Chain A
Amino acid sequence: MTQTAENFSVADPDLDPETWVDRYGDYLYRFAVARIKDQAVAEDLVQETFLAALRGRKSFKGRSTVKTWLSAILKHKIVDYLRKKYREQTTSDTDTITDTVDGFFHKNGSWKIRPEQWNLDPSKIYEQREFMDTLFKCLAELPDRQSKAFMLRELEGYSTKEICNALGISPTNSWVMLYRARMFLRRCLEIFWFNKTKEENS
């Protein structure tokens, strides 16, 4: 049986907002700092998370723990923050990339913009913080929901079901969004990371 917040707010101290900062403050803050790397922003996001939880307390059904519920809210706040941050930094360079899947293919379904060779070792790319910066800049160029679907799937490890619940879409819709996102991001990284690195190394 599921319980609403109101049913067990007295019995369950976990749902008493007065206990949240002591119980979950440090956990959420660490989580945010690890992703954002900016302590002041992380503090703000933790505060926003608690306030959003306070507003949405009645909708908490007790299907997950309070910790998981608060973490999910924080993850959304982080995704929104990163999108906003990188959106402010982006230029119109990516306008040259086709934003429709059809643009990548000829009418007969063969590649028009063929995937190029990436001669790089993924373990070495990862050491370079600039790679993630480029990825986030490319993500910021995608339509909101596509980019959010990708971030939740690949950066937060959400399942299809969790993405559908978070974005209010059908599984088929989520697969289409992820496909479009991958098509665009692959090309965007090819142009702004792999080709650039190739030129620098040559």
Chain B
Amino acid sequence: MSHWMFNCKEVSRRVSESMDRNLPLYHRMLIWMHLLMCKYCTRFRRQVKMLRELCTSHRLDENSPDPDVTLSSDACGRIREALKSSSP
């Protein structure tokens, strides 16, 4: 691999990494140059971002739980008992 050019394997790794941390400007430029020329890496990037989008919507949906849902008194009793019997 030339130092001034990333191949597809390298780009896919960096694209994934860019979703978890900020990459140096130099690397971002090399990725951008590669993406201009490579439809498969562009597709890869779009798809892993879509995967994140889907997981995020799933998470946001789950993070607004129904306030009316509560533990039954039976369950509370059971859990208290379990805690008591496991207490040192």
Contact = CB atoms under 8 A, between A and B. Distances in A.
Contacts, number: 139
Interface residues of B, number: 48
A52 to B, nearest CB: 10
Interface of B: 1, 7-10, 12-13, 16-17, 19-21, 40-41, 43-44, 47-48, 50-59, 61-67, 69-72, 75-76, 78-80, 82-83, 86-87
Interface of A: 17-18, 20-22, 25-26, 29-31, 33-35, 43, 46-47, 50-51, 54-55, 101, 104-105, 108-111, 114-118, 122, 125-126, 131-132, 135, 153-157, 160, 171, 174-175, 178-179, 182-183, 185-186, 189-190
B87 A117 contact: no
A118 B47 contact: yes
Contacts of B17: 175, 179
A58 B63 CA distance: 29
Given A34-B62, A154-B55, A186-B51, A29 B20 contact: no
Contact of A17 (B59, B61, B71, B83): B83
Nearest to A190: B47
Given A51-B86, A109-B10, A160-B21, A33 B40 contact: no
B78 A47 contact: yes
Contacts of B86: 51, 54-55
Contact of A29 (B43, B55, B69): B69
Contact of A117 (B43, B48, B67, B80): B43
11 contacts: A20-B83, A21-B83, A25-B76, A26-B69, A30-B65, A51-B83, A105-B9, A109-B7, A110-B7, A157-B56, A179-B12
